[in-house]
Chain A
Amino acid sequence: MTAPVRAASPEPLAERRIALVDLLDRLLAGGVVLTGDLTLRIADVDLVRVDLKALISSVSEDVPSPWGPAGEVRP
């Protein structure tokens, strides 16, 4: 458990200490992906350093989702 749970209150979101690995799952696989005036699309980045690629679950293999394509969030 990482946070005291008071779901109706915003504090835990701001104060909790977050594990990097949980954060990277969300920031490298989640979030809206845009195209257009960007300097770079992160989806196009091929992480060449093998250890980094292995460690960051979000940018490695696809995970089959029990919800089918709708439930999937992919890089």
Chain B
Amino acid sequence: MSTTDRLRYVYAVTRPFDGVLPEGARGIGGEPPRLLRHGDLVAVTGAVAPEDFDEAPLRARLEDLDWLADTARAHDAVIAALSTVTCPLPLRLATVCRDDSGVRRLVEDGHDRFVRALERLDGRVEWGVKVYAEPAAEEEAEPAAAGSGSSGRDYLRRRLHARRSREGDWERADALCRRLHGELSRHAEAGTVHRPQDARLSGVPGVNVLNAAYLVDRERSEEFVELVEAASEPGVRVELTGPWAPYSFAGIADEEAHEAHEAHEAHEAHEAHATTAAPAAQEAGR
């Protein structure tokens, strides 16, 4: 297929940069990303097949978890490569134009928004923080006591004890989420929560009760990471991922949202940093 038939996948928008992308950086379909300069911005694109990325096939492909996984990993590989040389503004997965002129129009139309977002995100990284309540720790307590007695009363006592212990674990997880979320928010420039992850997809033990992301200055990241690393408690596991390119914060580039955030910060300062409730923790009892 000739290059002209192919569509243009747009990974990110950046400022022009001097460095070179790491050798072997490949995007979707194994294609090396291409830089398309338009004015004072650069669109990072790749040619993709219309059989996959034209509207109708794309709708179908997105239903295929394996295809989605490959595409997401390829997208992230390009963003990660870009992150070694500049601070990219990642676009939503599957942003696809017909041709280069379509890409230029996108850059042109979104110019001011891109510039504002790039400025806001420059020098920042995203950290992911997930809190898990760990039922495994609760269940271990039961077999440990199992050999000690065999009467019905002992059994019931153990059951009651186990239930109280589980309730205590949920409460601890909930309290930790709220406390940690408040503390991390004060050390971050912005924060957001994703929906808790389903264990069927994540395949990790425990119940995900908080799935948050924080935008942190690179220079302050060490301090932030130390806070997260010190946060785990018995029965409550805290996991850190990152540093990520600021995916979760790229979309809130609109001035309106930015101003609202600043207004909220002012409000929060007024409230003397009242601990923010983590809504995800409320699902802990599911």
A residues sitting closer than 8 Å to B (CB atoms) are 1-3, 5, 7-8, 10-14, 18-34, 36-40, 42-43, 45, 47-49, 52, 54-58, 60-61, 63-74
Contacts and interface: CB of A to CB of B under 8 A. Distances in A.
A47 B67 CA distance: 14
Query: Number of contact residues on B: which range applies?
Result: 35 or more
B62 A47 contact: yes
A13 B245 contact: yes
A34 B80 CA distance: 21
B222 A37 contact: no
Contacts of A21: 197-198, 201-202
Contact of B7 (A39, A56, A68): A39
B80 A25 contact: no
B63 A31 contact: no
Q: Is the interface of A mostly helix, strand, loop or mixed?
A: loop
Nearest to A22: B241
A27 B72 contact: yes
Nearest to A6: B222
Contacts of B185: 66-67
Contact of B198 (A1, A18, A26, A55): A55
- Nearest 3 CB-CB pairs, A to B? A7-B221, A37-B102, A30-B247
B241 A73 contact: no
Nearest to B81: A14
A34 B110 contact: yes
B94 A72 contact: no
Which of B80, B241, B277 lies at the interface centre, i.e. has the most chain A CB atoms within 10 A of its CB?
A: B241
Nearest to A48: B63
Contacts of A42: 62, 92-95
Given A23-B72, A58-B194, A32 B13 contact: yes
Contacts of B201: 20-21, 55-56
A9 B243 CA distance: 10
B92 A27 contact: yes
Interface string B88-126: 011111111110001101100110011001000000011
Contacts of A11: 84
Contact of B72 (A2, A24, A45, A66): A24
A73 B197 contact: no
Contacts of B190: 67, 71
B192 to A, nearest CB: 5
Contacts of B83: 10, 13-14
A66 to B, nearest CB: 4
B195 A60 contact: yes
A67 B261 contact: yes
A5 to B, nearest CB: 5
B73 interface: yes
B196 interface: yes
A58 B196 CA distance: 9
B279 A63 contact: yes
Contacts of B55: 39-40
A39 B280 contact: no
A26 B193 contact: no
A71 B191 contact: yes
